[in-house]
Structure 1
């Protein structure tokens, strides 16, 4: 009769359904396994080592601080940006350089990172004439381009670069691509060595992002 399904069609539909269920089960198992591995083994902490660069603290002409995010609702610095500013101010107070250059523009609906970072630096007693702002960049690549222009304009030769440890390799390479010699001064290790499950999970995402970023920047000729 018209509309009746043949045994062959019914059998094909059942096989498709079984394959789909098997695929879903496999994907769920992989999802759970991935999270258990990255949260409860040291593999994530080991993987981040390939992104880190040994500190090279030296007296310099300027400390360059890369932005690390501003919370949209509160307008406050994200935890990584906060750590970078505190570290840069500490280096400044130790007499490592007479100037701090904050680099980072504004995303839609948010205040420029440099303004928030500079405000915090002032609160920490860094004088106004020691602060330089670069507010046009929104990526690590443009951080390097815009900061390099300011560095070259001022004739600064030695640059201490401050960012998070997991972000240092890509940042250093991006600056060197702009013919700026930088000395890594990563913020103190925190998430990179944290062994609690949630920080490890977050670090795994940062690892993926940074390794993908390195590959992409290499393909684009940015590093």
Structure 2
């Protein structure tokens, strides 16, 4: 009898914990979704460089427009396929070859957002850059900035979101595809945040042991 009551108590406690966790996740998701950028807040500031994270429409075109407008010295494209060349991109986008020859650099090491941040940090350090404009999709911006700030705490980062046509940020709840995309991105954001906290606590522990 006691064993049965104990199992019921454990089941009730587990159910309550799951409900509380779901409510916390839902509240955080609402905060995340409503806080996504809907425009470029600072389109005019000049930065040392501009970085484009590959993986979505209009990102590279926006980065090239920024470069052509004289808002940055060089453009770094992170996460490019190993076989892609600067010349191929120039021909594909039909832009001035001189701009690509002098001012476009391809990063081919990154396979994810954390990798984007790492290879961009190396490039910025080599160039001596202290400010960057970050170009990626609006829904991807929070996690990108999280990773970039982790590896480049002393670099000024200006967000420059782009807005893919298939992602309906306005009234996102009416679009199941957009809702699913934002929910997935929010979960990835939480994982990145948790991983950063783990790395920080591990670093503190090792420093104390040393």
> Which category of TM-score, normalised to the shorter sequence, fits these structures?
0.5 to 0.7
In structure 1, which of residues 149, 156, 160 is the aligned counterpart of residue 133 of structure 2?
A: 160
What's 1:123 paired with?
94
Between the aligned partners of 1:120 and 1:141, the Cα distance in structure 2 is 29
CA separation of 1:114/1:208 partners in 2, compared to 1, >3 Å: closer, same or farther? farther
Q: What is the Cα deviation at residue 207 of structure 1?
A: 0.5
CA RMSD of aligned residues (A): 3.2
Q: Which residue of 2 aligns with 1:200?
A: 175
State how 1:114-193 maps to structure 2 within 5 Å. 118-119=89-90, 123-125=94-96, 126-179=99-152, 180-188=155-163, 190=165, 191-193=167-169
- Per chain length, whose mean CA-contact separation is higher, i.e. which structure has more relative contact order (CA < 8 Å, sep 6+)? 1
> Residue in 2 aligned with 1:63?
50
Larger relative strand fraction? 2
Local SS of the residue matching 1:186: strand
Post-superposition Cα deviations, 1:131-155, rounded to whole Å, max 9, x if no partner, equal 0111000100110011101101110
Preserved CA contact (<8 Å) 1:160 1:182: yes
* TM-score, length-scaled by structure 1: 0.62
Change (3 A) 1:170 1:117: farther
3-state SS, counterpart of residue 55 of structure 1: coil
CA deviations 1:158-217 (Å, max 9, x no partner) are 1000001111111011101112331001114642346699x9222122111110111100
For 2:142 and 2:62, locate their aligned partners in 1 and report how far apart those are by CA, in whole Å: 18
1:22-37 to structure 2, matched below 5 A, reads none
Normalised to the residue count of structure 2, the TM-score between the two structures is 0.66
Kindly name which structure, 1 or 2, has the bigger radius of gyration based on alpha carbons: 1
Once the two structures are superposed, residues 41-92 of structure 1 have per-residue CA deviations (whole angstroms, 9 ceiling, x without a partner) of xxx9996333438633310111100011xxxxxxxxxxx2x31011111212
